[in-house]
C-alpha cells in the first residue's frame, strides 16, 4: 500500500490567509484609532437684528458664534437651528453651504430668517416692545460635517440676549 499523498502547498496558503486576516485587523483597528471623538461646538446666540419690516413680512438676522473645542477644524456643510425667544418659537430652518470652524477657534454665522406678520403678530409686538432690554433665548441645532464616517453634532445653548430694535 502506498502512503497518502500530502501537499506541502496547503500549509503556506493557510499561513498566508491568517497573515492577511491579521493585517486587515490591524488596519481596521488603526483606522478606528485615527478617528478621534469629536466634541460638539458650543453655540451662542449673539444678536437678533431686525433688517426689514414690511406689512406682511419681517426679516431678521440671527448671529450665532460657534466655538470649536476640538484639536481639528470642523468642515460644516449644513446647519439646522431652532430659536425660541421669551419662551415662544421664533425661527427655525436649515442652511446648506459650507464653512469651517477652526480648531480651537470660532466662526460667526449669520442667518437671515423671515417671519409672517399674520402668524406672529403678538410675539413680534412683544419683542418690539422689549427692544432695548434682555429677553431669554433657547438655541438648539445640529451641524453636519464634511468628513467621512462622521455623524452630525448637536449643539444647544440658552441665556439672555439684548434686543436692539
Distance CA 38, CA 143 (A): 12
* Residue-level pLDDT at 97: 78
Residue 163 and residue 123 in contact, taking contact as beta carbons nearer than 8 Å: no
pTM, 2 dp: 0.73
In a domain, 8, yes or no: no
Q: Find the domain containing 140 and state its range.
A: 42-162
In a domain, 11, yes or no: no
- Helical (H) or strand (E) element with 48: strand 42-53
Please check the confidence at residue 130 and state whether its pLDDT lies above 70. Answer: no
In a domain, 67, yes or no: yes
Instruction: Look at the chain and report how many structural domains it folds into.
Output: 1
CATH of residue 72: 2.60.40.1820
Please check the confidence at residue 86 and state whether its pLDDT lies above 70. Answer: yes
| Residue 122: band (very low, low, confident or very high) from pLDDT cuts 50, 70, 90 | low
Please check the confidence at residue 19 and state whether its pLDDT lies above 70. Answer: no
The percentage of residues in the chain with a pLDDT greater than 90, rounded to a whole number, is 48
Tell which residue, 85, 91, 66, has the closest CA to residue 133: 85
CA 7, distance to chain mean position in Å, is: 59
In a domain, 4, yes or no: no
Distance CA 69, CA 106 (A): 9
* Residue-level pLDDT at 114: 87
Amino acid at each position: 500500500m502506498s502512503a497518502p499523498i500530502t501537499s506541502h502547498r496547503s500549509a503556506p496558503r493557510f499561513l498566508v490567509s491568517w497573515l492577511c486576516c491579521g493585517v486587515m485587523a490591524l488596519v481596521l483597528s488603526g483606522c478606528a484609532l485615527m478617528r478621534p471623538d469629536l466634541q460638539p461646538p458650543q453655540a451662542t446666540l449673539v444678536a437678533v437684528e431686525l433688517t426689514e419690516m414690511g406689512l406682511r413680512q419681517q426679516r431678521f438676522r440671527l448671529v450665532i458664534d460657534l466655538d470649536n473645542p476640538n484639536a481639528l477644524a470642523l468642515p460644516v456643510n449644513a446647519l439646522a437651528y431652532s430659536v425660541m425667544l421669551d419662551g415662544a418659537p421664533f425661527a427655525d430652518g436649515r442652511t446648506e453651504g459650507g464653512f469651517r470652524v477652526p480648531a480651537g477657534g470660532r466662526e460667526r454665522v449669520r442667518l437671515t430668517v423671515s417671519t409672517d406678520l399674520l402668524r406672529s403678530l403678538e410675539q413680534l409686538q412683544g419683542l418690539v416692545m422689549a427692544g432695548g432690554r434682555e429677553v431669554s433665548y433657547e438655541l438648539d441645532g445640529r451641524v453636519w460635517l464634511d468628513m467621512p464616517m462622521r455623524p452630525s453634532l448637536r449643539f444647544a445653548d440658552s441665556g439672555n440676549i439684548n434686543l436692539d430694535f
